[in-house]
Amino acid sequence: MKIGICNDHAGVEYKQKLIKYLSCKGHEVTDFGTGSTEMCDYADFAHPLASAVESGALDAGIAICGTGNGMAITLNKHQGIRAGLAWNTAIARLVKGHNNANVLVMPARFVSYRMAVSMVRVWLTTAFEGGRHARRISKIPLA
C-alpha cells in the first residue's frame, strides 16, 4: 500500500520506527512529518497528509502527536478524511471495521511503541464491514 505518515515533535520517534516497520512489510511510505523534536504545530503536517489521502495519491495515512487529538481534529476538517483516534488494538480494529478510517491517529504520549505498531498492524489488516456502517459513514459529509 501507499501510506502517508505525519507527526509533530511528540511523534518523531514512533514515526521513525513505524516507517522502518512499514517499509519492511513492503509498503511505500511517504513522510509528511517533522524529523525534529523542536516544538512545532501539528496542523502544518496534518493538512498535507490529508490532501494526499483525499486526492487518492495515497491509500491511507497514519498521524501521530502527543494526544492524537490535534491531528484528528485537523485531519477531519477534510471532507474525504475519516481520521480515527485509537489507543488500543480493539479500537484500532473497530475504527477500520466500523468507521472505515482512512487515517489512523495515535497518541504517542499515552501508548507504548509496542502498542502503536500493534495498532497499525491490526488497522491495516482489518476489513471494513460495510452494511449498516456504510450507511452511517455515508451520512458524515456535510456536502
* Residues at the site binding ligand RB5, with contacts judged by CB under 6 A: 8, 10, 42, 65-67, 69-70
133 is catalytic: no
Kindly name the residue from 27, 47, 98, 133 that is annotated as catalytic: 98
Shortest Å distance, C-beta 52 to ligand RB5: 21
Q: Is 98 a catalytic residue?
A: yes
Q: Give me the torsion for CA of 21, 26, 28, 34, rounded to 10°.
A: 10
Q: Which residue is nearest to ligand RB5 (CB)?
A: 70
Cβ neighbours, 10 Å, residue 78 = 18
Q: How far is the CB of 59 from ligand RB5 (least distance, A)?
A: 25
Element (H, E) at 47: helix 43-55
C-alpha cell read off for 109: 504520549
- Catalytic residue numbers, as ranges: 65, 98
